Amino acid sequence: MSKKSIETRDRYPHFLSIQTRWSDNDIYGHVNNVTYYSYFDTVVNSFLIDQGGLDIQTGGVIGVAVETMCEFNQPLAYPEVLEAGLRVGKLGHSSVRYEIGIFQEGATAAAAMGYFVHVFVDRATGRPAPIPDAIRSALERIKV
């Protein structure tokens, strides 16, 4: 496999601290690969709720995942506290591509890095809908 370049902390304008849990570790004693996507889900949605005012219970639009990817650089393990870095790589009419790095607390190099593409759809019809203004301006703030 080709040598890849590893993302660093300075490339992410927003961070969320994430406490790992006992059951995040698998039989190898490391955080299981699937769990990283749960961290992705958590940093993305908490940003949308806190900074964009997304109402996950009754809001008119919902975010639907259409593509996600993760590269695993080094193992992580409970009980460490992680930091999830977030930036917006691409912002469209109804879709957004988030780029995410998972870091050990204080580390410069990402332990894992990947992306998450959301399409916003109308909650009732399921059809793609424009990104609401409040969410869009929050996303603009972390766009690179």
Residue 16, strand partner residues: 84
Place of tokens 């995410």: 100
Based on the shown chain and the rule CB under 8 A, indicate whether residue 33 belongs to the binding site for another protein. yes
Q: Any idea what the Cα angle at residue 125 is, between residues 124 and 129, rounded to 5°?
A: 100
Residue choice 16, 41, 49, 95 for contact with another protein (CB under 8 A): 41
**Nearest distance from C-beta of residue 2 to another protein, angstroms:** 10
**Nearest distance from C-beta of residue 140 to another protein, angstroms:** 24
What is the size of the binding site for another protein (CB under 8 A)? 23
| Phi then psi dihedrals of residue 49, to 5 deg | -75, -50
Residue choice 70, 91, 109, 129 for contact with another protein (CB under 8 A): 70
Based on the shown chain and the rule CB under 8 A, indicate whether residue 144 belongs to the binding site for another protein. no
Distances (CA, A) of 35 to 29, 49, 54, 98: 13, 21, 23, 18
User: In the complex, which residues of this chain contact another protein (CB under 8 A)?
Assistant: 1, 27-28, 32-35, 37-38, 40-41, 56-57, 62, 64-72
